[in-house]
Amino acid sequence: MSLLALRLERRQWDLLGELLATDACLPRPALDSANWGPLAAAQAPDGALPAVGDMPTGDAGEVFELVYHPTLVAAFATTLATSRAFTALVTTP
């Protein structure tokens, strides 16, 4: 089982985001929608992303502390992947 598949199975969104960011930096990134769809589905309507499993509940400050890093990782990974995808479109003859 691949690292990506294992992170998906375990719903480890933070680690999945970090692997997807790394993938986007490779010379030939996979940019596989099978990995991106579940990550997007795990996000809350406001874009926040839990580190693992479902969104935590409780005090807003405590929830922020739990989700800020995975949310930033997802935004970073998405930016990298989008940039690579657009670059491929522009440079393809």
Q: Where are the domains of the chain?
A: 3-91
C-beta neighbour count of 44 within 10 angstroms: 13
pLDDT, tens digit (0-9, with 9 covering 90-100), for 16-70: 999 999 999 998 888 888 999 999 999 999 999 999 999 999 999 999 999 999 9
Quick check: 92 pLDDT over 80?
no
The band of 93, judged by pLDDT with boundaries at 50, 70 and 90, is low
pLDDT value for 36: 94
| 8 Å CB contact between 22 and 14 | no
b/e burial code for range 3-36 (CB count within 10 A of at least 16 → b):
ebeebbeeebbbbbbbbbbebbeeeebebeeebb
